[in-house]
Chain A
C-alpha cells in the first residue's frame, strides 16, 4: 500500500545506482550513479532529448530501468509502481483533471487513499492557503489562469505528502513575467515544506536560480554535478562549458600541464588557464573564456586578444562586441557599457583577461 512505503520512506534521499535505461538499441540513459539529499532542490539541466525526462520518469516509476536501481529513503523502488512511491510528479502540461473542481483535484490523492471527506476538506483548504488560492476551491479548472493552474498542480501533488516532488518543466508554458514570479514562488514553497524537489529543465537560468545543486545532462549522460556557481564558473566538460552560459572556444593542443594550470598552443598564440581534469601534452584541447571576462585591454591583463569589430549589440546595461580574430574565428566580449569608450565597427580592439578566467579542457576532434 502506498501509505506504508510513504511512511517508511519519509526521508527524501534519492539514490540512483548503476541506473541504465534502453529503448531497444537506443540508450536513453547511460549508467548513472547519483545521490540527491533530503530537502535538496536539485535540477537536471540539459537540451531536449538528453534523457532528463527519462530519468524523471524512472524515478517516479513510469519507466522501469533496464539496469540498476532507484532507492528513495533507502528503500529499493523496483517493485513499486508510480502509485506506490513516495514521489509526486508535476507534469509538463500539468494534467489537471478538467472534470473536477479545484478542490476535487487537490483532494484526489487523498480520496483514492480512502481519507474521509471531512479530513480531506481540511487538508485541501490548508493547501489552498499555501498556494494562495483560498476561495477558488469550487472553481472549475478552465476558469483559472495559467499561473493559478500551476499552483493547483503543486497543491495537488503536495496533498499526498510526498517526500520527493518531481517537476517536469512545469514553467515552460508560462510567459516570461509569470515564469520569473513562479520561480521565486517555487523556491519559497520548497523552503517552507522542506521536501526534496527534483526539477527538470532546459532553461539554464531557471536551474541556476532555484537549485541547490544542478546536474547537467547530455546524450543520456550526466556531465557534471555541482552547485550553480561551480557549474557556471568551473565547467568540467566542453559540453557544460558551452551549454551553460556563453563561452568563447579557441582550439589547439596542450603545450604544458602542471596539474592545476595548462598552456594551450593555438593559431592565435599560446594561452594559459585553469586546467579542467587531467591533461597531457599534445592532446587536442580548447581554451574557454566567457564573454563577460573579456574587458578592454589593460597592462595588468595576463592574456590578450586583438581583432576587428564586426558587430556591436547594445543591450542596455552592457554591450556585446564581436571581434574577428586574425584566423577568421569570432570572439565575443561583453562588458559594462560605461567601460567601453563607444567602439566603432571596423575598428581594431584589444581585449584581455587573467589566467584564472580561462579554462583549458581536452576536447575530442568532433566536439564544439
Chain B
C-alpha cells in the first residue's frame, strides 16, 4: 500500500516520537551515569566522571545480589533446559486426545502473573518444610529457583518444540535399525539435532532468570538478588551508581548477544 504523502509525513513524526520516548529514559540514564552530581541527572552536564562505575565493586549488597543472581541463573538454566526439552518431547509423543490439556497446563505458567507463581511457590514449600521438618527447602535461593523454573521451562519448551516439530522421525528409526539403543539414539541423533534450540534456550534462560523480579521478590525471603537489591535501593533514593550499573549490564548483555549472534552466523555459514 502506498499511503499518501501527507500520511507518510505524519507517520514519520509519530514513529520518531515513539522511538524517542522509548529511548529517552535510556539516554537519560546513560548520561546520568557519567555526570558529576550525586543525584542522577542528565542535564545540565556538570562534568564527566567514572566515579559511579568505580564505586560499584565496593557496594556489598549489589555484589552479593549479583552473586546470588548468577548462582540462581546457572541453577535455573541447568534445570530448565532439560525440563523444557523433556516437556517438548512429551508433547510430541502424547496422543492427540491428551495434548490440549497438557498444553494448557504447561503453557499456563507463562500466562500467570509472576507474583502469583511466587506466592504459590512460597506457600507450597513452606507447607512442605513444616511437614517434613527439612529447613533446607525453605531458603531464598531454593525457592527462587523453584519459582523461576516454573515459567522459564515453558519458554525453553516452546523453543525446543519449534525445532522438534521439524525433526524427521525416520532418522530415529534408521538409527534403531542400525542397532542403536534408545539412549544412543537420544544422544547421537536427537540431541545434536536440537543443539541450536538448546543453546538458544540456555541463553534466554540465563537472561530471563537474571532479569526476573516479580516472582523473585516473593521467593527470595531474607536473601537478595540483583533485582531485589536494585528495587530496594531505588525506593530509598536515586543515585547515579544505579545508572552506572544499568549501563554496565546493558554493555555486558550486548556483548554476550553480539558474541552469540556472531558465533551463530559463523556456524551457519560453515554449513
Q: Which of A39-47, A82-90, A345-353 contacts B (4 or more CB under 8 A)?
A: A82-90
- Bound complex: CA A45 to CA B196 (Å): 42
What residues of chain B lie closer than 8 Å to A113, measured between beta carbons?
179
Scan A251-271; emit 1 where CB is below 8 A from any B CB, else 0: 000000000000000000000
B252 located at the interface, meaning its Cβ lies under 8 Å from any Cβ of chain A in the complex: no
What residues of chain B lie closer than 8 Å to A82, measured between beta carbons?
173, 176-177
A108 located at the interface, meaning its Cβ lies under 8 Å from any Cβ of chain B in the complex: yes
Q: A99-B192, A108-B188, A112-B184 are in contact. Are A89 and B177 (CB under 8 A)?
A: yes
* A30 nearest CB across to chain B (Å): 25
A91, B178: Cβ atoms under 8 Å? no
- Bound complex: CA A112 to CA B186 (Å): 12
What residues of chain A lie closer than 8 Å to B171, measured between beta carbons?
95, 97
Q: What residue of chain B has the Cβ atom nearest to residue A2's Cβ?
A: B179
- Bound complex: CA A83 to CA B178 (Å): 6
- Say what secondary structure dominates the interface of chain A: mixed
A238 located at the interface, meaning its Cβ lies under 8 Å from any Cβ of chain B in the complex: no
What residues of chain A lie closer than 8 Å to B174, measured between beta carbons?
89, 91, 95-97
Most-contacted residue by chain B among A61, A93, A95, A113 (CB, 10 A): A95
What residues of chain A lie closer than 8 Å to B188, measured between beta carbons?
108, 111-112
B175, A108: Cβ atoms under 8 Å? yes
Give the contacts of B172-218 with A (CB-CB under 8 A): 173-181, 184, 188-189, 192-193
B170, A93: Cβ atoms under 8 Å? yes
Contact count band on B: 10 to 19
B192, A91: Cβ atoms under 8 Å? no
- Bound complex: CA A81 to CA B179 (Å): 9
Residue count of chain A within 8 Å CB distance of chain B: 28
Q: What residue of chain B has the Cβ atom nearest to residue A112's Cβ?
A: B180
Q: A82-B173, A112-B184 are in contact. Are A93 and B179 (CB under 8 A)?
A: no
A202 located at the interface, meaning its Cβ lies under 8 Å from any Cβ of chain B in the complex: no
* B239 nearest CB across to chain A (Å): 51
A51 located at the interface, meaning its Cβ lies under 8 Å from any Cβ of chain B in the complex: no
Neighbour of B180 across the interface among A83, A87, A156, A157, CB < 8 A: A83
- Bound complex: CA A82 to CA B179 (Å): 7
A95, B193: Cβ atoms under 8 Å? no
B180, A62: Cβ atoms under 8 Å? no
What residues of chain B lie closer than 8 Å to A60, measured between beta carbons?
177
A88, B177: Cβ atoms under 8 Å? yes
What residues of chain A lie closer than 8 Å to B173, measured between beta carbons?
62, 82, 89, 91, 95
A279 located at the interface, meaning its Cβ lies under 8 Å from any Cβ of chain B in the complex: no
Q: What residue of chain B has the Cβ atom nearest to residue A81's Cβ?
A: B176
- Bound complex: CA A341 to CA B181 (Å): 67
Scan A93-111; emit 1 where CB is below 8 A from any B CB, else 0: 1011101000000001101
B178, A160: Cβ atoms under 8 Å? yes
Number of A-B contacts (CB under 8 A): 63
What residues of chain A lie closer than 8 Å to B176, measured between beta carbons?
62, 81-83
Q: A97-B189, A108-B188 are in contact. Are A83 and B177 (CB under 8 A)?
A: yes
Scan A124-146; emit 1 where CB is below 8 A from any B CB, else 0: 00000000000000001010000
- Bound complex: CA A248 to CA B159 (Å): 59
- Bound complex: CA A61 to CA B177 (Å): 8
- Bound complex: CA A95 to CA B177 (Å): 11
B168 located at the interface, meaning its Cβ lies under 8 Å from any Cβ of chain A in the complex: yes
- Bound complex: CA A159 to CA B189 (Å): 18
* A28 nearest CB across to chain B (Å): 18
B178, A108: Cβ atoms under 8 Å? yes
B180, A108: Cβ atoms under 8 Å? yes
- Bound complex: CA A99 to CA B180 (Å): 17
Neighbour of A95 across the interface among B170, B179, B184, B271, CB < 8 A: B170
A83, B189: Cβ atoms under 8 Å? no
Q: A62-B173, A82-B173 are in contact. Are A95 and B168 (CB under 8 A)?
A: yes
- Bound complex: CA A160 to CA B176 (Å): 12
Neighbour of A83 across the interface among B179, B192, B271, CB < 8 A: B179
What residues of chain A lie closer than 8 Å to B175, measured between beta carbons?
97, 108, 112
Q: What residue of chain A has the Cβ atom nearest to residue B171's Cβ?
A: A95
A112, B178: Cβ atoms under 8 Å? yes
Q: A95-B170, A95-B173, A112-B184 are in contact. Are A156 and B193 (CB under 8 A)?
A: no
- Bound complex: CA A57 to CA B243 (Å): 65
What residues of chain B lie closer than 8 Å to A61, measured between beta carbons?
177
B179, A112: Cβ atoms under 8 Å? yes
- Bound complex: CA A84 to CA B176 (Å): 9
Q: What residue of chain B has the Cβ atom nearest to residue A99's Cβ?
A: B192
- Bound complex: CA A109 to CA B193 (Å): 18
What residues of chain B lie closer than 8 Å to A112, measured between beta carbons?
175, 178-181, 184, 188
Scan A1-18; emit 1 where CB is below 8 A from any B CB, else 0: 010000000000000000
18 contacts between A and B (CB under 8 A): A62-B173, A82-B173, A83-B178, A83-B181, A88-B177, A89-B174, A89-B177, A93-B168, A95-B171, A96-B174, A97-B171, A97-B174, A99-B193, A108-B178, A109-B179, A112-B184, A112-B188, A140-B271
Q: Knowing that A83-B181, A95-B171 are A-B contacts, what are 8 other residue pairs whose CB atoms are under 8 Å apart, sorted by A's residue number?
A: A83-B178, A83-B180, A88-B178, A89-B174, A91-B170, A97-B171, A97-B175, A112-B188
